[in-house]
Amino acid sequence: MRALNWLWRGLLFFVLFAFALNNQHVVELKWMLGWRWQAPMVFVVLAVFALGCVTGVLAMVPSWWRHRREARTRQLLMPEPVPSTTKATGVTGLTGTDAGAPTLPSELPFPPDMPAPRKPVK
């Protein structure tokens, strides 16, 4: 499977390399106010791709911040771990941990596999 993955990567590299070699002619971009810029087509395509990547990352930043804030709020809402009620006689629990190790309560404020409740939109 690893060899097939490297074969696919090599094929993709050579296809893109051939594309770059076949598009070496100069392209002229005409901007506002009579400005013109000449560059090989490969560099123009690369610049537009990089600009698209940067725009996509910047568009995702507010969403990332919101998710981080929600995760931090979720962590603050989790109750403190409840210490185990078993005696420290050297007997370990089902998980193989020490008898005095704290455990989470049986009921959390919301299930960990469900999203946190959102505030209603005003």
Q: Which pLDDT tens digit goes with each residue over 3-14?
A: 889 999 999 989
31-74 confidence digits (pLDDT tens): 899 899 899 888 888 899 999 999 999 999 999 999 998 888 88
pTM: 0.48
- What DSSP string describes 19-88? HHHHT-SEEEEE-GGG-EEEEEHHHHHHHHHHHHHHHHHHHHHHHHHHHHHHHHHHHHHSPPPEEP-S--
